[in-house]
A and B are shown apart, each in its own frame.
Chain A
Amino acid sequence: MLEDVVNASINGILLGSVYSLIAMGLALIWGVMDVINFAQGDYMMLGAFITYFLFIGLGIDPLLSIPLTFVVVFLTGILTQRFVIDRILEAPLISQIAATFSILLIIRFGAEALIGPYTFRLVTGYADYVIRLGFIILHYTKLLAFIISILTVISLYIFLTRTFLGTAIRATSQNRIAAQLVGVNIGRMYKLAFGIGVGISAIGGALLSTFYPLHPEMGGFFCLLAFVIVVFGGFGSIFGAFFSGIIIGVVQMLSALFVPPTLKDAIAFIIFILVLLFRPTGIFGKGV
């Protein structure tokens, strides 16, 4: 039993790091623009399928194609921002939600109509490798995904705190009018934030594709999970989302030991509702 618990926890940490990437993109967009992007999971799906088709078509290893995947989804995000999100930033909540829902429908089902309603599997040469440390079993692909997630998070951290552009994005998220007054071009920051936000989620999708079955509608579940993580971590707190992603991953894997597999997702949603009710600022949030 103890072995199961340890293994489940480690698996949860590895998987949770990928969840975190998806959620951090959502948190970045939410924090900077105050827009909930319901299509976040679908940009993740785009990332996963770009990786898949690069692997099937050109034989590029999923881990090597990550920069390319990021750039493609980043550009898609900038286009979305330019043609859709920019126009609804000042609109009432209902128009904002309607617009991001329509992006969800267009990306998810446009992709499904193009590639078909089937489940795909990306099988790399090293898909079955495991590392055994005593009774601990580590899947090679999940371990690599974990390492790359951590590297991505560190790069994002450095970008947001140590570069001029990153500081400008943070300034925009803290106070858009003040940022504008000191000469930040907030329109550009919005585009950048949306592009990076969906790009980071796409990296999550790319990493997921190495060990998780792919389906054009996979984004739905991960989008809900990303909401759970962002709310749990504290609204707008990007790095709070990172830690809470790992916590949610562990909780999910541990609860899978005790309840039927379907209900392990229900536990995540129940945690979500409880956090909303009793600690709406999240566990890492500083309060409103």
Chain B
Amino acid sequence: MSKMKFSVLKSLYSPPMIVFLSLIFISSPILEFLNQPFIANTIFMCLLYAIMAMAWNLLAGYTGYLSFGHAAFFGLGAYTTMILMLYYDITPWIGIWFGGLLTALSALALGFPLFRLRSHWFALATIAVAETFKLVFIVWPYVGAAYGLQSPIVAPEKSLWYIQYAGPFIYIYIALIIFVIELTILYLIITSKTGYYLMAIREDEDVSKTIGINTLKYKMFSLMVSAFFTGIAGGVYVIRFRFIDPFTVFNLITISIYTAVGGIIGGVYSFIGPIIGSFVFIPLTEYVRVFIVARLPEYYGLHFFSVGILLLVISLLYPAGITGYLERKGYLKKRILPVKVE
């Protein structure tokens, strides 16, 4: 059994993947030496959105349930990490895992009503859930209401405890650790029997039920794993930016939709699609945001606009995303896993 798992992992950590991860690993000191905080921050954001998009893709791409309310999980994870750190002085090294667990538990509670719905209706209900969370957090004084929460700057000797460092360079490693953990776990899930059950549910839920798959159980599992990693991403966000408010972390566009955009641009029926998608569209939007919008604030919105154009082109011309296109052209090995017949 363990031998099989090992060969599975060998297929995940193929030479290109190793090169990709090592490049990110060595990029941090090089960028710090060259004093390029913008590029380092962009790499961090790409990793953060890749974490979220992969988690989203387990639910959307593999299980077939489109969620546009992942901001609810992201925000819950972020607030949990922040509150544990601010009110209980628990280090975010531990806090983010609590954030993930709490988020997974709340996903369990939300899953029972949500999974009574399918397709369009599920998507709409997830949006409503995330918006409700946002509105509740806006009026809840314990979590700082609309002002949000900010963690203070700490003395240098406490940097490690609070994971507080100047610039974005160190945070690349934090995101990278989470990214690798998630990559491994999700790959083990989708190559296991559970993964095939999830894909069976995506292809035809009623047939899956007929052949004896407990669909609710597996859908719930998928939602909880997805929520867990999205919550962790929220915690990573808190560590990096030290400030959260309901409008940022429960944001429909920059969290819920961007997560999905990463998956859709990269290709949802592929394991590495969301990673590629995030590493394509985040640099675009970050570049426009930092070099155009920040300098000319009257053009605020151009960074979203550019994502809109990219998303439109991809969804009209390459509906299977970048990986789908590469596979069709033969540049990427055809997936062995079952593919949705369109």
Offer 25 A-B interface pairs, CB within 8 angstroms, sorted by A. A88-B316, A88-B319, A91-B319, A93-B123, A97-B123, A99-B312, A99-B315, A101-B257, A102-B312, A108-B304, A109-B303, A109-B305, A110-B305, A110-B308, A112-B301, A116-B300, A117-B298, A220-B252, A224-B131, A263-B136, A266-B135, A269-B131, A269-B135, A273-B129, A280-B117
Write the A143-155 contact mask toward B (1 if CB under 8 angstroms, else 0): 0000000000000
In angstroms, Cα B299 to Cα A216, docked, is 12
The 6 A-B residue pairs with the shortest CB-CB distance, nearest first, are A105-B308, A112-B301, A109-B301, A102-B312, A109-B304, A102-B311
Please name 17 further chain A to chain B contacts, defined as beta carbons within 8 Å, in addition to the given A102-B315, A265-B135, A269-B132, sorted by A numbering. Answer: A36-B124, A84-B312, A88-B315, A93-B66, A95-B315, A97-B123, A98-B261, A102-B308, A106-B312, A113-B305, A116-B298, A117-B297, A231-B124, A263-B136, A269-B129, A276-B124, A277-B117
| CB interface residues, A 230-288, toward B, < 8 Å | 231, 260, 262-263, 265-266, 269-270, 272-273, 276-277, 280
Is B311 within 8 A of A276, CB to CB?
A: no
Is B301 within 8 A of A110, CB to CB?
A: yes
Write the B103-136 contact mask toward A (1 if CB under 8 angstroms, else 0): 0000000000100110111011101110110011
Is B131 within 8 A of A95, CB to CB?
A: no
Decide if B264 is an interface residue (CB 8 Å cutoff): yes
A36 to chain B, nearest CB (A): 6
In angstroms, Cα B298 to Cα A105, docked, is 17
Interface size on A, as a range, is: 35 or more
Contacting residue for B60 out of A94, A228, A269, CB 8 A: A94
Decide if A121 is an interface residue (CB 8 Å cutoff): no
B64 to chain A, nearest CB (A): 9
In the complex, number of A-B residue pairs with CB atoms less than 8 Å apart = 136
Decide if A92 is an interface residue (CB 8 Å cutoff): yes
Write the B240-266 contact mask toward A (1 if CB under 8 angstroms, else 0): 000000000000110001001100100
Decide if B8 is an interface residue (CB 8 Å cutoff): no
Decide if B139 is an interface residue (CB 8 Å cutoff): yes
Interface size on B, as a range, is: 35 or more
Instruction: Find the A residue at minimum CB distance from B257.
Output: A101
B222 to chain A, nearest CB (A): 16
Decide if B302 is an interface residue (CB 8 Å cutoff): yes
Write the B58-78 contact mask toward A (1 if CB under 8 angstroms, else 0): 001000001010000000000
In angstroms, Cα B121 to Cα A216, docked, is 27
A273 with B128: in contact, given A106-B305, A260-B139 (CB under 8 Å)?
A: yes
In angstroms, Cα B116 to Cα A153, docked, is 34
Instruction: Find the A residue at minimum CB distance from B320.
Output: A95
A84 with B301: in contact, given A94-B60, A262-B138, A272-B128 (CB under 8 Å)?
A: no
B119 to chain A, nearest CB (A): 6
Query: Which residues of B have CB within 8 Å of A273?
Result: 113, 125, 128-129, 132
Decide if A196 is an interface residue (CB 8 Å cutoff): no
Is A105 within 8 A of B340, CB to CB?
A: no
In angstroms, Cα B298 to Cα A116, docked, is 5
| CB interface residues, B 279-316, toward A, < 8 Å | 297-305, 307-309, 311-312, 314-316
Instruction: Find the A residue at minimum CB distance from B314.
Output: A98
Decide if A104 is an interface residue (CB 8 Å cutoff): yes
Is A113 within 8 A of B301, CB to CB?
A: yes
Is B117 within 8 A of A276, CB to CB?
A: yes
B77 to chain A, nearest CB (A): 21
In angstroms, Cα B137 to Cα A227, docked, is 22
Decide if B54 is an interface residue (CB 8 Å cutoff): no
| CB interface residues, A 211-225, toward B, < 8 Å | 216, 220, 224
In angstroms, Cα B114 to Cα A280, docked, is 12
